Copies of this chain bind each other. A is one copy, B any other.
């Protein structure tokens, strides 16, 4: 089964690609090519900008937006092994090839913030057991938390991840935007933000819920709604309704 470690080509240096690249390099793993249009300079790595220049023996890690994966796969010769890094895209919905897999780090990444990979769940899937084993071994070099899961499982996890990260982050953005608009000091809310998460180490979110919607306090809810407009108001009303239904209509 073991065929030694293949060299790696990373396609795309967005948020995910940049972080995967630096994680692989920090473990001295053999990234030999990067395909990008951005200015990446590293004497040990060849920058390419044509799929035809990918080394045939390399393992390709695709770090491109979900909606470009299928197209890029058709651009890469089918005898080259490729993994992609998406939470939502199903393996069976993509153009098939001899070795196709998933190498998905369940985390939020930004280009300019590097994240420790040790505890990041690495979700692995592949279209052959030998390729799956190879990806599992590679993932274990990055993280202590490697799981083999199928596309359906990964997609369901990704749905919850969107709530956990994308939606909470946007809610915090609205809070910050309103604080600025209202000339109140957002710094005063930082201890609350910290405790919101710390509390969940000892309690479920269900039990941790407080606030006017939790009490069905319509006077306070209405006074808040008066301070909001547009989609901010819709977000407030929809989540409030959802909280009230959770605690009062069950």
Are B156 and A227 in contact, CB atoms less than 8 angstroms apart?
Answer: yes
- Size class of the A contact interface (CB-based, 8 Å): 35 or more
Q: Would you list which residues of chain A between 85 and 126 have a CB under 8 Å from chain B? A: 88-89, 106-110, 113, 115, 119-121
Q: How far is the CA of A185 from the CA of B185 in the complex (A)?
A: 38
Q: Which of A40-48, A50-58, A133-141, A238-246 contacts B (4 or more CB under 8 A)?
A: A238-246
Q: Using Cβ atoms and an 8 Å threshold, which residues of chain B touch A167?
A: 171, 235-236, 239
Interface residue? A6 (CB, 8 A):
no
Q: Flag if A108 contacts B196 (CB, 8 Å).
A: yes
B120, B199, B204, B220: the one within 8 Å of A88 (CB): B220
A170 CB contacts on chain B under 8 angstroms: 205, 209, 213, 239, 242-243, 246
- Most interface-central of A145, A239, A241 (chain B CB within 10 A): A239
Known: A195-B107, A195-B108. A234 touches B223 (CB 8 A): no
The residue of chain B having its C-beta at the shortest distance from the C-beta of A153 within the complex is: B184
Collect the chain B residues with CB atoms within 8 Å of residue A182's CB. 156-157, 159-160
Cβ-defined contact, A164 with B234, below 8 A:
no
Interchain nearest-CB distance for A231 vs B (Å) = 4
Complex contacts, A168 vs chain B, CB 8 Å:
168, 171-172, 196
User: A159 and B147: CB pair below 8 A?
Assistant: no
Q: Is A202 an interface residue (CB 8 A)?
A: yes
In A155-183, the 8 Å CB interface with B consists of: 155-179, 182-183
A200 at the interface (CB under 8 A from B): yes
Stretch at the interface among A26-34, A74-82, A186-194: A186-194
> CB within 8 Å of B: which residues of A?
15, 65-67, 88-89, 106-110, 113, 115, 119-121, 145, 147, 153, 155-179, 182-186, 188-189, 191-197, 199-200, 202-215, 217, 219-220, 223-224, 227-228, 231-232, 234-236, 238-239, 241-243, 245-246
Given contact pairs A155-B227, A163-B175, A176-B204, a sample of 7 additional A-B residue pairs in the complex whose CB atoms are under 8 Å apart: A88-B220, A153-B184, A157-B182, A159-B182, A162-B236, A168-B196, A193-B200
